[in-house]
Amino acid sequence: MSRILITGAGGYIGRLLGERLAAGHTVLGLDLRVPADLPFQCRQGDIRDPALAELMREWRIDTVVHLAAVLEDSGNRARDHDIDVNGTRNVLDACLIAGVTQLIVTSSGAAYGYHPDNPAWLDEQDPLRGNPEFAYSDHKRLVEEMLAKYHHRHPDLRQLILRPGTVLGESTRNQITALFERKRVLAIAGSDSPFVFIWDRDVVGAIVRGVETGAEGVYNLAGDGALTVRQVASILDKPVLELPAGVLRAALWLGHRLALTPHSPEKINFLRYRPVLSNRRLKEEFGYRPEKTSEQTFRFFVERARARGQL
């Protein structure tokens, strides 16, 4: 039995993970906002709080699962950086002070960046290049660079870093699923814009395996296979709106300048060059085989979303 602290425990994955781990371990959650119906204990708190180490000591925490992060750009880059990067640094320092033995961090495939020369399938040893223009991608890269430095200086704190692709589940709703809710699916001429999906229950399953095996290392987290944007449109049974990159870039420039959209022209790369994650090491080295493929995950999401009127 482990004594586990989950940051971001009130969130989507945190709730699922805490409920599952609480069946066999002592679990404490931490979140800025604590839902009233969480099935495990949770404290209201900030990952940047200097008193975090004392909380870990009080609860004799041996394992920390760090989920807390800014998922969508708030418009305040300094604030988001402070939470993502400085918040993670505080978690790391608290782990060292409190004698925590394992830290599990959910990073993201976005840490590789959205680049035209990305390999067809990204391996964990490929460089993390992020994108300065995308806060989420840039911060995930910075966090992983920091984690690597801490690991070099403090190898006794085992680190398990998971890089998920696009997470989907029964009730997912975010900026990615908003793309699927439109009447037509946007495609950029000359780009397949492939997606790799991971079932939310597989994210939880991989973290649980990490807790129960004490594993360390870095692993991509994705279902088998990928879907092009046209395959996505076919499953959604929606037409494709194909635009030349230059036309879309000009439209975003004008819309952003007129404050009609928060998306700047640089965001076109987010649509064109999505990182495609290989899960070979996840299966062969970490020993976790996702229950659903990318396609099965997407079809599962679509079926549930249609049933509740989301699509």
∠ Cα 30 163 63 (to 5°):
40
DSSP-derived secondary structure letter, 122: B
Residue type, 84: D
Q: How many CA atoms lie within 13 A of 234 on its CB side?
A: 6
- Is residue 136 flagged as an active site residue? yes
Of 37, 158, 32, 179, nearest to 105 by C-alpha is: 158
Provide the token pair at 144: 């992983």
* Sole residue written with tokens 């979140």: 31
Distance CA(194)–CA(170), nearest Å, equals 21
Q: Are 203 and 106 in contact (CB under 8 A)?
A: yes
Q: Which of 12, 112, 136, 150 is catalytic?
A: 136
* Sole residue written with tokens 């899960």: 279
Q: For residue 158, give every residue at least 6 positions away whose Cβ sits within 8 Å of its Cβ, in sequence order, or none.
A: 101, 102, 103, 214, 215, 216
Secondary structure of 185-250 in HEC code, one letter for each residue: EEEECCCCCCECEEEHHHHHHHHHHHHHHCCCEEEEECCCCCECHHHHHHHHCCCEEEECHHHHHH
What is the total residue count of the chain? 311
Q: Are 128 and 109 in contact (CB under 8 A)?
A: no
Active site amino acids: 136
